[in-house]
Every structure is written in C-alpha cells, then in structure tokens.
Amino acid sequence: MDEIKEILKKYPDRRGALLPTLYVAQKAYGWLSQEALEEAAKALNLPPATVKGVATFYAMYKHKPMGRHLIQLCTNVACMIMGAERLVDLLKERYGLEPGGTTEDGRFSLVIMECIGACDRAPAMLVDTDFHADLNENNIFEILEKYE
Amino acid sequence: MIKLTIDGKEIELEEQVTVLEAARRAGIKIPTLCYFEGLKPFGGCRLCLVEVEKLPRLQTACTLMAADGMVVKTETEKIKAARRAILEFLLINHPLDCPVCDKAGECELQDLVARYGPDAGRFTEGKRHHPESFDDPIIVRNMERCVLCTRCIRMCEDLQGAYAITVTGRGSHSFVEPFSGGRYNCEYCGNCLTVCPVGAIMSRLHRHSYRPWFVEKEVETVCGYCGVGCSMVMQMREGKIIRTIPRMGLGLNNGLLCVRGRFGYDYLQSEQRLRSPLIRRDGELHEVSWSEALDYVASRLKEIKEKHGPQAIGAIGSGRCTNEDNYMLQRLMRFTIGTNNIDSSARLYYAPALLMLEGILGQGITANLIPGIKNADGVVVLGGDPTQINPILGLQIRAASRDGAKVITLGRAKGLERFAHIMLPGAPSNVDVVLGMIIQELREGVELKGENKWLQEQLSKVKVTEPIEGIPLDETIGALREMKNAVLVLGPEVLQSDNSDRTLLLVAALVYLLDARVFLLSERPNYQGAMDMGVLPDMLPGGRPLEMFKQKAEEALGREVPADRGLNLFEMIDAASEGRLKALYVMGENPVFNMPDKDRITEALKKLEFLVVQDIFLTETALMADVVLPARAWSERTGTYTNLERRIQFIRSGTDSADGMEDWRILEEISARLGEEKRFAILDEVWEEVVHVSPLHSGLGYDDIKDGKAIWPYKGEPLRGVEETYEIQGLDNIRPIKSGQVLQLDRPLYHSGSISRHSKALRSIEDEAFIVISTKKAEGLGLADGDIVKLITDRGSLQARIKIDSTVDEDNIYISNTFTEANFGSLSGYEAGRLGSLSLDKNPVKLEKV
Ligand code: SF4
Ligand code: SF4
Ligand code: SF4
Ligand code: FES
Ligand code: FES
C-alpha cells in the first residue's frame, strides 16, 4: 500500500498509476490473480473491470500463478551452442520443472527466453532480477540453491 | 450557421454536430455499427465512412464534425467497397449461426451484410472459438458473435456508471467480460443488452423463445416497481409478456431501465397468483364465486357499521394500485361508509415527509423533473442511496456529477461512491447534527428576504451544542455556496428517527438557503397518487385538508363528508388491538409483512371481526383474512400512476387475466351493494369524478395524460399556501444521540418488498437477505464480505451473510424486507415518530460471529 501511495504521487491521475501499481500487486501476489487485481483496483479507486481490461492487454503481466522465484533461461543460438538445452533437461530432472511450468512446492517457475544480451558469457539466465552467466551443470544448482 | 452539402442536399445547421447527425437531420441514413445515440462516439467500426471533398481519406461520419462548406458523399462505389471489406473482416470471426441466434431479425450486422455484404467470405481460416458463457443467471455471453463495437461498455460506463465490463485480452483474443469472467455481479440494468447490435449478449429470460417476429402485440406502459415511473414497452405473445424494453425517446427514462423494470416482470406468471375469491369458513379459506364473495363483504360491512358505527371500519390503500383504485377506496370509506379511517404504507415515511415539506415550503415543492437533475451544478443526497431506491433517478445524479456538478452525500450512498465529491457521515438518527452544523455556517452572510418568515425564524434558532468530529465543514460549505442550481434528494432513512420533524425542518432550511429543487425518493410507483386521491385520514382528494375543504367537497359531490379526522396506519393497528376497530379493508398491501413488528401487527389483525384483503397473491395478510379477493396485476389493467415528480402517466393492460378483477371495479361492486346509487361502468367515469372533486386535477382529462401533458402544475390550481407552522423541539440544542446499535431497513436494488420475491429472475440475481454493515464494524468483528453472522434483537434472531458498505454508519445494521425466511419485519419493533412517520431509534440489535 505504501508503495502504491508513492507511485500515486508520481502520476497526475489514477489511471496513469495503474501499470506500475499492477507491477507492485504482481510482486506481492506472485501473479495477477483476481484478488491481486481487486487490491490494485481498491488502492487506486478504479473499477475492477477496468483494471482487468488493462492488465490483460499487456503481455508483461502474469495471469497464471508463478513460483516464488522466476528463472528466465536463455536458449537462443549462443546459449544453445554452449549447452543451455542440457540445463533445461537438468532442471527437469532435479526439480521436475518444465519450461512454462512451476515446481510443485511453488519455489521456481521456468520461462525460456530469447537472447538476453549476454551471448559472450553464455549460457545465461535471470533469476528474478539477478543476472547469472557462464552457467554449467554444477554452478547452476549452486546458484539456484540460494533462492529459497 | 454552418452550411454543408450531403449527397447533393444543402443542409443548414444552427449548432455544431457530427456529419452523421447532420445527415440524419436531412433524412440521409448513413450505416453505422459502433455508433449509438446517446453514447460518446467511438469511431471504431468504420462502417460510417463517407467521402469528403478535399479530405484525402474516407472519414468516419460519427466522429467528424460538420464544417462550413463541406461537401460529403455517403454512397459511392469506393465507400461501398470499403464497407464490404469491413463486413467481410467482421465475418471472419463472426459465426453464421443466425438460425439459432435470438438476435436474428433485429441484428444490425445481419442487416448491414444484407445491404452491403459479400455473398461469400474469402477467408478459409477457422473462426475463433469461445464457448458461450452461461455462468450468469441473466445474461448469456456469446463472444464469438461480438464485433467489439464497445457499445455495451460505453453504456455501462458512460450512462449506467457501473463500470462492470471491459474488453479483456488483445487482438482476436479480445472479449467483453465482467470482472469475474463469469457472473456479472453488476447492477443488472440490462442496458448493455439494449445497445448490443448483435447476439453477443442476450437475456436468458427469453432465450430461444423470443424472435422479433414472435411479438404479437406491443403495449406502452409505465413500470410498476418504484416511484420514478419509467416508460417501457411490453412485448407480448399469446397473452404473456415475452420481455419488457425501454425505448429511446420514450418517457423520462429515455431508453434506460433498471434491473427491476427490465427483468422483474415474471412474477405476473407466478403459479402462486390468486385465481379465485376466497371466504373463510370453519377457519379455512374456501373458493367461492365472485358474486358470493362481493355480497358477503357488503353484508358484513353493513352489519358492522350498524352495530359499531362507521368509525369501527378502516381501510389501507396502496402505492402499487392506480389513482382510480385509490380514489374508489377512499370513496367507499368516506362517502359510502362514512369514515375517514384510511391510510397507506406511505405513512411509514413518504406521506409525513411530503406533507411537512409542503407545509413549510408550499404544495408541489417536490414536483420537479427527474431529467432536469443532470443540469444541476450541485446535488445534495441524504436519507438513502438513490441508485438503489430509485435507480433511474440515481443515474441522473451520476450524470450531473459527470457534467461537473458537485455531489455531496450524507449517509448511505454506496452507488454514488465514484461520483460524490464529499461523502459526509450521516447515521439516520444523527444526520440532524451534520445538517445543523451546515445550516449554522451557511446562513451566515445570507440575506434572508423574508419570503418565508416562519422558516427564517426557525433557521436562526439552529444551534449545534455538540458537533460531530471529523466533518470537512469548510470544504462542504464552500461547495454549497458555489451551487447556483442545486438539487436536494431526500430518502426515507433520515425520517425514521425520533427527531424526524427537526431533521425535516433542517432539510427544508437547507432547501430554502440553497434554493434547491427537492426530490423525495419513493419506493412505490404510486405513493404520490394514493395521497393525491385522498388516501389519508385528514386529507381529501387533491391534497386538501379535511377541515378546510369538507364543505367544498360536499358541494361538489352532493354527499356528506365525515367531519372527524380518521385514524392513520399506526392508529388503526392500535385501534384494532384495543378492539375499537372491528373491520379492516386492505387493498394491495401486506401490512403483516411490510410493516415492522410482525407480531404486533398479527396480534392486532387477529382481534378484528372482519378482514378483507384484495391482492394478487395469497400474502401473509391475506392468509389471515375472512375474505380474499383476487385483483388484477399491473400488466392486466389500465389506469394512472402519479410518480414522485407528480407526472401522471398511463399504465396499460397487455396480458390476460381471466380470474382477477380490477381493484376499482371490486370496490365499485361493493359500494353498489352497500346502497351506492352512482355506478361507474368504465374507468373514465371514475377519473371524471376525480377531476370534478379534486381542485388539483380539475380540467385534466385522460387525453392530456395520454399525450404526456400531465405534469405538475396541472390545469387545476394548487390551493394550499405556505404558512403552516410546526412546534419543533430542541432546535437550539442539537447534539448526537447515542442510541447504540440499531436495526435499519435495507432497500436493495434487486428487490422491492413482497412482490419481487415472486420474480424468479430477480431471485436468480439475489436470492437471500444480506446483513449490511459498515467497513469499520466488519473490521472490528474480523468479518469479510459473505461471511455468515447471527443477528439478534429482542424479538428473535437469524443468520445471514454480510455485505460490507463503506458508506454505512457503524452503529446501523441493515436487513431488507423481501425474503420470507429472513426479514426486517419479524425482527424489528417500531414507534410512531413525532412526525407521524415510522421511528426505528429503539431497535437495538446485536451481531455475533458464527
Ligand atoms: S447489466 Fe448494466 S451494470 Fe451490468 S454490465 Fe450491463 S450495463 Fe453494466
Ligand atoms: S458484446 Fe455486443 S455491444 Fe458489446 S462490444 Fe460486443 S458486439 Fe458490441
Ligand atoms: S427506476 Fe423504478 S420505475 Fe424505473 S425501471 Fe427501475 S423500478 Fe421501474
Ligand atoms: S543467446 Fe542467450 S544470451 Fe544471447
Ligand atoms: S459508426 Fe462510425 S466508426 Fe462505427
């Protein structure tokens, strides 16, 4: 709520503050559930239906539940050559994690990305907002184990 | 002056309008799809394309403003080709399932394709698929048919103000959806259904049973649910209503309806309608013939009058019956039997409020036009949520707010949350403190011109000795001072307190200081008419006080008018329980259910020697009656209603009823059996007498009413002046009363007293009574919306789910009086307030978590 109030200060009207507010709601709820949308609507005093219309228009919001941590792993050319596909298989073996899916315990979600601009240090991934590169079969799990 | 040429026709315009509108005025029809009269233009479908000289591309006529010297062409080959292409695009995704679509025959897409469309589509890709949604009890959504014109959304946002639906997704995955994605959970006005050009959103009530060509008969009538009096068209087949719809340009509602008017008509076909007159023998009600029932009623009334005198007989009229019915009831009581014991449930609030306002400010003070509300620059709302009690009036307040009017609410007004600028707290029993605080400030610096001496004297006495904290008084006063064209909307709640006379005086003072137009919310279609017809113990037809007008009425009628003021509703109940009232004639009212304190009313009615009930259902009151007479329902008879603006309008019969008799006719038959010589063969003769007796209505014929000319002031003259005075206590010592938690009457949007419980459609929207509490109370008890709580009063308890309303006062707990299982009447007590209205102050209530 406080964060939303801060956002509100920056925008001339409530509708303008909607997109950033949806980000805040998404962070708090993991994804834009009906409940998250309702909260966002309440915070901005906008009709819930209007909020939903805007939220579903943009691709950058999550409309399905996501794990606590989002792994965005690149499998584009450079990363692929450097073994990214093998990493995908390993994630499946170790955590039962499929691309586009979420682990049963809700810990990780995996999204396969197109080039994330780190080809020189491929393969690379983002975990939430942290960047990790030069991945291999071992260090990827060392890294991931730090995310509870 | 703008001059332009469209299709070779020269057109002159006084004002700025769109090319589409200019063409329409010249009789040239440009095809449209996303345009809808009254909605903001969207310019999305591009069907209204026209060629304009000197403009490079084709232009959309619905958004292009007509300019001087424009030369426009509306039907060229280029335009036709463009329209054909657009339609072809729409048909890529639009299914061709017209044979099973209820819209076929009045579908705008079908019509357009027939006129411009391609014979065959060139696209072979599959159409998008999206299953038809039956998640909602009322609205079926078929998004494969949606052409994304957004008419429904603009209707819901810009006119209805409900903001319930939106376009979700993008591109060909765009659909119109309510927030939940399934059930609408909205205001269910159905106005979106009116504007949808295709069969994408349809009413479930006539699914697959309606086609435009099925309609055998259309009848224009007026809604029978509330005091707004919206016009509507009943569409019928085989003597039954298939649906009721509004029409653009028809009536004060001009194309809009609320949920009750739109979907609440199915009670008419309820299995539980009364079919035959009933007489009680050996404790049971038995079916008898009409003549037997009528003879019996007359003989019993005669017997009781002879034995106990006319004062032992009383009658309750009805805000759901017509003027003619109510006139005939008071005629039977006053002129045939000889008593003024007659009243109606308008007593609970509407009548005392109106009479006192008129007493202070003059007769007809509340006779203002509803469509004029939107032109106000300020609206003050108090005493209940207009968007629930009188929804179409509520929309006018929303419209005013949208046009820049400042809206100030006191107390409950959830439906105006998005439209109000200042929302002041106002518990029903403490609203006088807030009003007093306002008056104290507002009177400063105002030069009182002495038009209303008495009121000015009272006004100057106002003193709040203990103000309420946390009221943004400066802001409120600032806003009030700026109002040049103010409207004040008054609802029932603030009149249901011990202090109601003082509160009403303060309201009158505010009206006076603001020079505001007042509107008095009315829950029944004809409370005003019942009063104007003389269904009051101390007033004769035309709103004339008995003592002043007795002689005139006697001269006009050549009949004696009983001299003594009669008993009002509360007094009749008391008189019955004390054995002074022996017979009660109830027409179209259900006091056992509709009045608070069910036990007290039941006990009182039990003591009667003779109870007659005239109704369309076997109500709780009818179950106690000695004789039950089946009446005709709203759609089965003609007559007039007077709405809260005092507009007199015609209701017309459309559907059949072989069983019931019109209320006025039943009364006429009984009067004749009691020796009345004057007979009334047709309804017009009843109205003729009304016009003859009531100075208010003199000269007003049915033709004027049918022409829509019956708007106050009528041709007759209002007689009563302003100079009435009242004894108001404690004006100089206004402070909050701590009455603890009290039970209040909820007036929900989807229901209307004991009629709507017979509507399956309305029940499918809301099928249970909710306990409405404030946000604060809910937080205090750790409750969320929908949780079940136990409500306890000294009369009993019940369990129901809660609804949280942020505009409700913390100490007031609301429950409606609609459902047999859980209702206000059986849990509350009442007293007659000082104003003669209902007082609910001493109605303690407790809530417990379960
Ligand atoms: S029924 Fe009325 S409130 Fe509901 S979505 Fe349609 S227009 Fe909006
Ligand atoms: S549902 Fe009907 S009114 Fe609404 S956008 Fe679709 S076609 Fe237009
Ligand atoms: S506002 Fe009143 S009169 Fe109009 S449709 Fe609704 S219930 Fe009927
Ligand atoms: S290909 Fe993976 S970061 Fe560029
Ligand atoms: S009617 Fe003009 S663009 Fe749709």
Which chain A residues have a beta carbon less than 8 Å from that of B164? 47, 49
Instruction: Report the distance separating Cα B621 and Cα B614, nearest Å.
Output: 10
Task: Tell me which of B46, B75, B104 is where a domain ends.
Answer: B75
Residues A37 and A77 in one domain: no
Q: Which of B170, B178, B418 is nearest residue A49 as measured by Cβ atoms?
A: B178
Residues A32 and A79 in one domain: no
Q: Is residue A64 part of a domain?
A: no
For all residues of chain B together, what is the average pLDDT? 93
Residues B515 and B645 in one domain: no
Whether B245 shows a pLDDT value over 70: the answer reads yes
Residues A50 and A105 in one domain: no
Q: Is residue B139 part of a domain?
A: no
Whether B223 shows a pLDDT value over 70: the answer reads yes
Residues B367 and B432 in one domain: yes
User: Measured from the CB, is residue B150 less than 6 Å from ligand 2?
Assistant: yes
pLDDT score recorded for residue B722: 61
- Which DSSP string corresponds to B411-477? S--GGGTTT-SEEE---TTTHHHHHHHHHHHHTTT----SSSHHHHHHHHH--BSSPPTT--HHHHH
CATH number (domain holding residue B564): 3.40.50.740
Residues B560 and B674 in one domain: yes
CATH number (domain holding residue A111): 3.40.30.10
Pairing of strands B165-168, B175-178: antiparallel
Residues B361 and B439 in one domain: yes
Q: Is residue B599 part of a domain?
A: yes
Residues B382 and B461 in one domain: yes
| Atom of ligand 2 at shortest range from CA of B195 | 3
User: Measured from the CB, is residue B165 less than 6 Å from ligand 1?
Assistant: yes
Whether B793 shows a pLDDT value over 90: the answer reads yes
Instruction: Report the distance separating Cα B354 and Cα B346, nearest Å.
Output: 10
pLDDT score recorded for residue B121: 59
The number of distinct structural domains making up chain B is 4
Residue nearest to atom 2 of ligand 2 (CA): B196
Q: Which of B163, B165, B169 is nearest residue A56 as measured by Cβ atoms?
A: B169
Which chain B residues have a beta carbon less than 8 Å from that of A47? 163-164, 179, 418
Domain coverage including residue A125: 69-144
Residues B339 and B354 in one domain: no
**3-state SS assignment for residue B736:** coil
Q: Is residue B806 part of a domain?
A: yes
pLDDT score recorded for residue B310: 97
Q: Is residue B747 part of a domain?
A: yes
Residues B463 and B494 in one domain: yes
- Which DSSP string corresponds to B135-194? -SSSEEE-TTS-----HHHHIIIIII----EEEESSGGG-EEEETTSS---S----HHHH
Q: Is residue B263 part of a domain?
A: no
Residues B320 and B368 in one domain: no
Residues A32 and A91 in one domain: no
- B279 pairs with which residues across the strands? B286, B627
Give the model's confidence band at B451: pLDDT under 50 very low, under 70 low, under 90 confident, else very high.
confident
Residues B335 and B459 in one domain: no
pLDDT score recorded for residue B96: 84
At B121, the amino acid letter reads G
pLDDT tens-place string over residues B147-190:
999 999 999 999 999 999 999 987 778 899 999 999 999 999 99
Task: Tell me which of A16, A32, A57 is where a domain ends.
Answer: A57
Instruction: Report the distance separating Cα B633 and Cα B631, nearest Å.
Output: 6
Q: Which of B166, B170, B418 is nearest residue A49 as measured by Cβ atoms?
A: B166
Q: How many other CB atoms sit within 10 Å of the CB of residue B804?
A: 20
The number of distinct structural domains making up chain A is 2
- Which DSSP string corresponds to A62-86? --S---SEEEEEE-SHHHHHTTHHH
Residue B729 is encoded by which pair of tokens? 């206590």
Task: For B217-334, list the strands marked E by DSSP.
Answer: 217-222, 231-237, 240-245, 278-281, 284-287, 313-316
Give the model's confidence band at B334: pLDDT under 50 very low, under 70 low, under 90 confident, else very high.
very high
Residues A105 and A140 in one domain: yes
At B546, the amino acid letter reads L
Q: Is residue B40 part of a domain?
A: yes
Residues A79 and A122 in one domain: yes
Residues B546 and B511 in one domain: no
**CB of B383 within 8 A of CB of B495?**
yes
Computed from CA positions of residues B790, B791, B792, B796, in that sequence, does the dihedral angle turn out positive or negative? Answer: negative
Residues B560 and B671 in one domain: yes
Q: Is residue A33 part of a domain?
A: yes
Least confident of A45-49, A105-109, B435-439, B779-783: A105-109
Residues near ligand 4 with C-beta < 6 Å?
A 74, 76-79, 115-119, 122, 124
**3-state SS assignment for residue B559:** coil
Q: Is residue B205 part of a domain?
A: no
Terminal C-alpha separation, chain A: 25
Q: Is residue A63 part of a domain?
A: no
Task: Tell me which of B75, B93, B114 is where a domain ends.
Answer: B75
CATH number (domain holding residue A10): 1.10.10.1590
**Main-chain dihedrals φ then ψ at residue B271, nearest 5 degrees:** -60, -25
**CB of B101 within 8 A of CB of B68?**
no
Residues A73 and A139 in one domain: yes
Instruction: Report the distance separating Cα B178 and Cα B191, nearest Å.
Output: 14
Domain coverage including residue B822: 742-849
Residues B439 and B487 in one domain: yes
Q: Is residue A62 part of a domain?
A: no
pLDDT tens-place string over residues B519-568:
999 999 999 999 999 999 999 999 889 988 899 889 988 889 999 999 99
Q: Is residue B300 part of a domain?
A: no
Per-residue pLDDT of chain A (148 residues; tens, 9 = 90+): 667 777 777 777 777 889 889 988 888 887 888 999 999 998 888 999 999 999 888 866 777 777 888 898 998 888 888 889 999 999 999 898 988 888 888 888 888 887 888 888 989 999 988 899 999 988 999 999 999 8
pLDDT tens-place string over residues B595-621:
999 999 999 999 999 999 999 999 999
